[in-house]
């Protein structure tokens, strides 16, 4: 059985958790889920989403100690479910929370964990023979027995193959590496509620207070259907009028490259990249962004990219579907005027 | 005063084309050069601020050349260094955590324990996202990951980071392990004076305490870049109508 730690976003199952469930289903074993949500959260939509993803059983968690988030407490819960169910593999998205909890579980069980997996397949004795034949040991394998994982390193510029030989195998799935697909047959998603006993030591690091965001945040960026990007080509903190206007016009949000946030031109939560948000829009319009690995790590899942750049050879241009060669400060006003004319 | 230890990792610069070492098991940084992750630069900055004149030690596990990264941290205000010499590719995250824990314990036994241990959230190359957590378990300390600001009141660390519902605050009793994400502080640049001091700052060189288990890495590959299929819509302002037409084709405009 594969156990997946899933999260809730806006009442439903988070997109990255749906991706993790689709990924887990691909491993060829039944899938169960633990929902990471404070007791009292409405999980009905998330449970329904789990059924769509073919999940057989959903573990909900209750208890006063989990009202405020504590990673170690959640890790003890997940480790408990792992022990009780005998799951072979633990999977989650690469979100901050999920990565943190899985790292705790891996540390507690003293087993390896692979972050940012793109794909995984069982090798060795557990290999399922192609064509629906009986399970048989893979004699030809020289890598040993376990879960062979291909994962992103160096911000996705390099792919590492690694073998998770221990049980349970623990891995997080790279954001947007997998398209979430409904299971051919919906799962029962039968709900069991766990009321765990939390050790005091696991509450030593617990959220004491939450200040809701006043301005924008990375979350609106990761969910946006249209993102207008700006890089060094903006020229300075006053160079963003055009991208702000274009984003507003297209019903999108602004995302920026790392150089922009490290120069203090725009706040860090607008950063797209390895140390910022990973976006997944239908349309990305990077303006004056050269497209270094650091930035590509955050925008490579965009469905269509239209780059605006003075350099026709910039990586952002050569990796884009469309491009305009020119200065963003000349091109964007002309685009705004053309959009206005269109009405 | 708070005694702080910061752990950093020498990683290849990822600015241009990535090349692998001849055996295909490592990333060759000899042309691009080496750096540390932005998260670790912020951890160093937080350490200098929190130590407020106290001891702040920078530690790395890496090859001989990693002294460069230690000196860079010493140049912005760290007071001394610890260099565990080894090929970082041969160490799993658990191996690294064990070695760092051994160094922390050794300092504690020598009468100079650390109140706070900072690391980057995840290394820029391997992106394992777990060394800090494993270190905390090895030491029996509480740990918080993804933190952007750190302050200390008495024997409590006040930590903030971005959570799903807003900015989250933790109050954690020291000693503790904290992993840092970029975005809360601006790393300072070294002064001329800082560079001079860094040259003379003490660096203790240690050998690993045990043979590393290794990471289970079987191979690395550089995925081929997507074929250049860009359609140039035009140059300068004259391309605006083509841009709008493309948006309409894509269904972005209603």
CA–CA distance, B67 with B22 (Å, rounded to integer): 24
The owner of tokens 């109140």 is B115
pLDDT, tens only, B72-109:
999 999 999 999 999 999 999 999 999 999 999 999 99
Does A96 contact B169 at a Cβ distance shorter than 8 Å? no
Is the pLDDT assigned to residue A106 strictly greater than 70? yes
Q: Which of B50, B63, B226, B220 is nearest to A321 (CA)?
A: B226
Q: Which of B146, B108, B55 is nearest to A268 (CA)?
A: B146
Does A250 contact B228 at a Cβ distance shorter than 8 Å? no
Does A269 contact B162 at a Cβ distance shorter than 8 Å? yes
pLDDT, tens only, B155-168:
999 999 999 888 99
Is the pLDDT assigned to residue A136 strictly greater than 80? no
Structure tokens at A65: 């100690």
Instruction: Give the model's confidence band at A130: pLDDT under 50 very low, under 70 low, under 90 confident, else very high.
Output: very low
Nearest neighbour of A325 by CB, restricted to B15, B124, B235: B235
Q: What is the mean pLDDT of residues A232-256?
A: 95
Structure tokens at B246: 């493309």
Instruction: Give the model's confidence band at A342: pLDDT under 50 very low, under 70 low, under 90 confident, else very high.
Output: confident
Minimum CA–CA partner of B124 in chain A: A154
Instruction: Give the model's confidence band at B227: pLDDT under 50 very low, under 70 low, under 90 confident, else very high.
Output: confident
pLDDT, tens only, B136-161:
999 999 999 999 999 999 999 999 99
H or E segment to which residue A32 belongs = strand A31-36
| Res A141: pLDDT | 45
pLDDT, tens only, A13-70:
999 999 999 999 999 999 999 999 999 999 999 999 999 999 999 999 999 999 999 9
pLDDT, tens only, B33-63:
999 999 999 999 999 999 988 899 999 999 9
Q: Which of A12, A103, A116, A271 to mutate to test the interface with B (most CBs of B within 10 A)?
A: A103
Tell me how far CA of residue A306 lies from CA of A20, A52, B160, B234, in angstroms: 29, 34, 36, 12
Nearest neighbour of A97 by CB, restricted to B14, B15, B164: B164
Cβ contacts from A onto B, under 8 A: 246
B29 to chain A: which residues are within 8 Å by CB?
Answer: none
Does A275 contact B39 at a Cβ distance shorter than 8 Å? yes
| Res A70: pLDDT | 98
CA–CA distance, A211 with B169 (Å, rounded to integer): 8
Nearest neighbour of B215 by CB, restricted to A162, A213, A264: A162
- Written out in words, the top-level CATH class of the domain with range A218-342 is alpha beta
Does A160 contact B129 at a Cβ distance shorter than 8 Å? no
Domain segments of chain A as ranges: 2-203, 218-342
Minimum CA–CA partner of A145 in chain B: B216
Which fold does the domain A2-203 belong to in CATH?
Answer: Rossmann fold (3.40.50)
Is the pLDDT assigned to residue A138 strictly greater than 60? no
B3 — contact with chain A (CB < 8 Å)?
no
Q: What is the DSSP string of chain B?
A: ---EEEEE--EE--SS--EE-TTSSSEE-TTT-EE--HHHHHHHHHHHHHHTTS-EEEEEEE-GGGHHHHHHHHHTT--EEEEEES-GGG--HHHHHHHHHHHHHHHHHTT---SEEEEESS-TTT----HHHHHHHHHT--EEEEE-EEEEETTEEEEEEEETTEEEEEEEESSEEEEE-TTSS-PPPPPHHHHHHHHHS-EEEE--SS------EEEEE-PPPPP--PEEEEEGGGGHHHHHHHHHHHT---
Domain segments of chain B as ranges: 4-206
Instruction: Give the model's confidence band at B189: pLDDT under 50 very low, under 70 low, under 90 confident, else very high.
Output: very high
pLDDT, tens only, A180-200:
999 999 999 999 999 999 999
* Chain A contacts in chain B segment 118-137 (CB below 8 A): 122, 124-130, 133-134, 136-137
Does A331 contact B240 at a Cβ distance shorter than 8 Å? yes
Which fold does the domain B4-206 belong to in CATH?
Answer: Rossmann fold (3.40.50)
A107 to chain B: which residues are within 8 Å by CB?
Answer: 94, 97, 130, 133-134, 136-137
HSE value, Cβ hemisphere, 13 Å, CA-based, for B240: 19
| Res A218: pLDDT | 65
Is the pLDDT assigned to residue A75 strictly greater than 70? yes
CA-based diameter of chain A, in Å? 68
């Amino acid at each position: 059985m594969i156990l997946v730690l899933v999260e809730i976003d806006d009442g439903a199952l988070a997109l990255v958790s749906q991706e993790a469930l689709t990924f887990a289903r691909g491993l060829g074993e039944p899938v169960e889920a633990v929902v990471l949500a404070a007791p009292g959260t409405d999980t009905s939509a998330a449970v329904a989403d789990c059924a769509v993803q073919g999940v057989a059983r959903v573990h909900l968690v209750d208890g006063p100690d989990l009202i405020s988030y504590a990673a170690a407490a959640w890790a003890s819960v997940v480790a408990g479910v792992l022990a009780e169910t005998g799951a072979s593999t633990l999977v989650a998205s690469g979100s901050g929370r999920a990565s943190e909890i899985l790292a705790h579980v891996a540390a507690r069980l003293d087993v390896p964990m692979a972050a940012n997996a793109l794909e995984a397949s069982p090798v060795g004795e557990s290999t399922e023979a192609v064509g629906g034949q009986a399970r048989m040991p893979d004699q030809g394998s020289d890598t040993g027995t376990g879960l062979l994982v291909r994962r992103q390193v160096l911000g996705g510029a390099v792919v590492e193959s690694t073998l998770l030989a221990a049980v349970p195998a623990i891995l997080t799935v790279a954001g947007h590496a997998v398209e979430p697909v409904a299971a051919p047959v919906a799962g029962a998603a039968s709900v069991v509620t766990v009321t765990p006993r939390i050790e005091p030591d696991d509450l030593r690091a617990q959220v004491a207070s939450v200040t809701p965001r006043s301005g924008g945040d990375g979350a609106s960026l990761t969910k946006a259907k249209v993102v207008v990007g700006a890089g060094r080509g903006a020229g300075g903190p006053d160079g963003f009028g055009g991208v702000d206007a274009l984003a507003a016009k297209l019903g999108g949000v602004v995302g920026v490259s790392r150089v922009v946030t490290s120069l203090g031109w725009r706040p860090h939560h607008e950063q797209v990249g390895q140390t910022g948000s990973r976006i997944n829009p239908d349309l990305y319009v990077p303006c004056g962004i050269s497209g270094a690995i650091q930035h590509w790590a955050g925008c490579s899942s965009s469905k269509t990219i239209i780059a605006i750049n003075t350099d026709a050879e910039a990586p952002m241009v050569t990796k884009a579907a469309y491009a305009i060669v020119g200065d963003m400060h000349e091109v964007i006003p002309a685009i705004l005027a053309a959009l206005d004319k269109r009405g | 005063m708070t005694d702080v230890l910061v752990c950093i990792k020498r990683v290849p610069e990822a600015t241009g084309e990535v090349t692998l070492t001849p055996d295909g098991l490592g990333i060759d940084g000899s042309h691009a050069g080496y750096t540390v992750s932005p998260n670790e630069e912020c951890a160093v900055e937080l350490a200098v601020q929190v130590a407020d004149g106290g001891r702040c030690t920078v530690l790395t596990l890496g090859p001989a050349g990693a002294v460069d990264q230690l000196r860079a941290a010493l140049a912005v205000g760290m007071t001394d260094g610890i260099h565990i010499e080894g090929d970082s590719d041969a160490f799993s995250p658990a191996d690294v955590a064990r070695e760092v824990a051994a160094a922390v314990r050794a300092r504690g036994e020598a009468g100079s324990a650390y109140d706070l241990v900072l690391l980057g959230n995840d290394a820029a190359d391997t992106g394992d996202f777990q060394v800090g957590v494993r270190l905390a378990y090895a030491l029996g300390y509480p740990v918080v990951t993804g933190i952007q600001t750190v302050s200390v009141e008495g024997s409590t660390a006040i930590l903030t980071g971005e959570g799903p519902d807003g900015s989250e605050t933790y109050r954690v009793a020291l000693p503790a392990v904290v992993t840092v994400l970029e975005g809360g502080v601006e790393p300072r640049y070294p002064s001329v004076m800082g560079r001079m001091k860094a040259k003379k700052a003490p660096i203790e060189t240690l050998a690993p305490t045990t043979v590393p288990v290794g990471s289970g890495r079987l191979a690395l590959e550089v995925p081929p870049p997507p074929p250049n299929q860009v359609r140039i819509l035009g140059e300068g302002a004259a391309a605006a109508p083509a841009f709008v037409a493309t948006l309409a084709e894509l269904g972005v405009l209603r």
